[in-house]
Amino acid sequence: MNRKKLFFLSRILVLFFMVSYVVDKVVYYGIRQMESSVYTGQSVGKFNQYLSIKDSLDFIVFGSSRANHHINPSLISENGYNMGMDGQKIAFSATLCKLLPKREQTILFHIDPENAVDDLYMAEDLSSLKSMYYKNKIVQKEMNKYKKLNPLQQIYWCISYNGILFGIIKNYLKPNYNYTTYNGYDPLQVNNSSNRNVLKLDKKEIQVGCKKKGYTLNPIYKAYLTDLKEFSKKNKKQLIFFTSPKLFDNCKEDNLFLRKEMKKMNLIYKDFSDVLLSSTSDLSNWKDATHLSKKGAENFTNYVARTVFGPNVK
């Protein structure tokens, strides 16, 4: 290739980059304008609702699906919200927690022992916050800290909406529910005939014990636990960690290890993994081996309300 052709090709590439860069920003702000009015669904709607009400809340639940589907905040506080999201772990929830204002609030934060001692955990769940990267400095700081930003997203901002754009458009055109009456809690409906089949686990699977000997707290979990402790102290929060019930938990060593670690860090931790096991014969309490049905969740929330917050929780 001669020099003239190389120069021409370079000009084409530069022109393409400039045009694509400008188009990307125009499209990005168009999508952002649309999604800012979306308050339903887990694409961005739940984030937006949380951001709009977080400063006025008295009680907030954070965690994975085992928080989202298990705690009805209305049974504990008249001004509560469940910010649990399916598939998320400590980095995601802790980052959202750090967005709360400096005022008295009670935080119920879900944590699973097996995740806390998982050596392979690298804060992958922060990637679920990519749509907030250019909208919030705290989110941006956390994602940069653990390098969870797609490098191309620094140039092409529309990547922020990869995988969630359809959900945004769908909820923009037709909201799933009335968000003004939604408290973030998503109960799991079951019927007695169908969930019996779900709970028929292989005997070998049920009998599996601890997968390893000796435990250490994942360093990212430890760092976030420290962050949450300091954040709560500085911002007048009552911070309570908890673990939801499981139908089968044949390894208790990680539970005992986490209890000791939480005690060392002077953190309040309630291990409820065995709660409701006395009623395992009543399968209507369970959706599957790790998730409660709506009935089970209401029973569990009432138990938490009585044992953690006392008779006058509201």
Q: What is the pLDDT of residues 175-201, one digit of tens each?
A: 989 999 999 999 998 875 555 555 555
- The pLDDT value recorded for residue 47 is 95
Ranges in the chain, pLDDT < 70: 1, 192-209, 278-281, 311-314
Give the Cα separation of 233 and 177 in Å (integer): 36
- The pLDDT value recorded for residue 203 is 45
- The pLDDT value recorded for residue 200 is 58
Give the Cα separation of 244 and 232 in Å (integer): 22
- The pLDDT value recorded for residue 198 is 54
- The pLDDT value recorded for residue 293 is 93
Give the Cα separation of 57 and 55 in Å (integer): 6
- The pLDDT value recorded for residue 137 is 96
Task: Establish how many alpha carbons lie within 13 A of residue 67's alpha carbon, considering only the half-sphere containing its beta carbon.
Answer: 28
**Under 8 Å between Cβ of 305 and 267:** no
Pick from 244, 239, 256, 253: nearest CA to 303: 244
Give the Cα separation of 255 and 266 in Å (integer): 16
- The pLDDT value recorded for residue 9 is 84
